[in-house]
């Protein structure tokens, strides 16, 4: 792993401990205050998180949910008409690893900056971990503005393909939230009937033809997925 050259050994250790969730609440508060202004330190945290995520994927066995629960969720999220490329097992493996990298999801505030509103409601964030390929995303939902900002943290769309974002909530079919820019940040306005659902949903990104899914349902590989959590 490549480390920024201007980081002290103590800060390197702190960044690793932060990535693993080993710091006390007081230490986390102090460290995150530094992350908001120290881009080198933030880059180091991201590097440690990628390193640990790779180790987890290579060496930690996926956590398989109880069979009854898995069957129920698979039936909910993926009907018999779903494309075969949307593999429930792959999503379960990704979500099992997502718990290992929760601190990366919290870094959503650092990607986008703080939201300053009067008496704000809690923000929500999702870390979309890779399932097919290397695409990774961080999504931050501001319920006061009803906007979802999605930052692509790794990967790029395939040639002549686009990336489409989906909301998966409860027993409902996946709902398209729109196409992602593929570089930088995409800001999406969330319709009123989806705002509450979004705070308890899973977000997923699929690979689609130009213009997005022609069917209103995912047709390509699932590239990344992750649950929405409250900050």
3-class state of residue 115 by DSSP: coil
pLDDT band at 8 (very low <50, low <70, confident <90, very high): confident
Cβ burial 63-80 (10 Å sphere, 16+ → b, else e)? eeeeeeeeeebbeebbee
CB-side exposure of 161: number of CA atoms within 13 Å? 15
pLDDT digits (tens, 9 = 90+) for 160-208: 999 999 998 867 789 999 999 877 788 999 999 898 888 888 899 999 9
If you average pLDDT over every residue of the chain, what do you get? 73
pLDDT digits (tens, 9 = 90+) for 39-51: 778 778 777 777 7
Give the separation between CA 120 and CA 77, rounded to whole angstroms.
32
Give the separation between CA 207 and CA 218, rounded to whole angstroms.
8
pTM score, two decimals?
0.56
Residue by residue, DSSP assigns 58-101 as: HHSPP-PPPHHHHHHHHHHH--TTS-TTS-HHHHHHHHHHHGGG
Among 89-93, 124-128, 196-200, 210-214, which stretch is predicted with the lowest mean pLDDT?
A: 89-93
And the tokens for 4?
Answer: 């920024």
What average pLDDT score do residues 222-231 get? 82
Measured over the CA atoms of residue 101, residue 75, residue 90 and residue 191, the dihedral's sign is: negative
DSSP state of 38: -
């Amino acid at each position: 792993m490549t480390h920024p050259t201007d980081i002290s050994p103590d800060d390197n250790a702190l960044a690793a401990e932060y990535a693993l969730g080993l710091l006390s609440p007081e230490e986390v508060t102090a460290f995150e205050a530094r992350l908001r202004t120290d881009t080198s330190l933030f880059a180091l945290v991201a590097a440690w998180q990628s390193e640990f995520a790779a180790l987890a994927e290579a060496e930690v066995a996926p956590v398989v949910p109880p069979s009854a629960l898995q069957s129920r969720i698979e039936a909910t999220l993926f009907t018999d008409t779903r494309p075969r490329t949307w593999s429930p097992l792959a999503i379960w493996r990704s979500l099992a690893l997502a718990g290992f990298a929760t601190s990366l999801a919290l870094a959503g505030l650092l990607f986008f900056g703080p939201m300053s509103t009067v008496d704000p409601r809690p923000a929500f964030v999702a870390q979309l971990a890779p399932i097919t390929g290397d695409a990774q995303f961080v999504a931050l939902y501001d319920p006061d503005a009803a906007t979802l900002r999605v930052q692509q943290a790794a990967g790029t769309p395939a040639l002549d393909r686009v990336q489409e974002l989906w909301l998966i909530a409860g027993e409902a079919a996946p709902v398209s939230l729109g196409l992602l820019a593929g570089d930088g940040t995409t800001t999406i306005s969330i319709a009123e009937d989806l705002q509450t659902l979004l705070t308890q949903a899973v977000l997923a990104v699929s690979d689609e033809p130009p213009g997005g899914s022609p069917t209103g349902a995912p047709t390509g590989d699932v590239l990344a997925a992750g649950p929405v959590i409250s900050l």
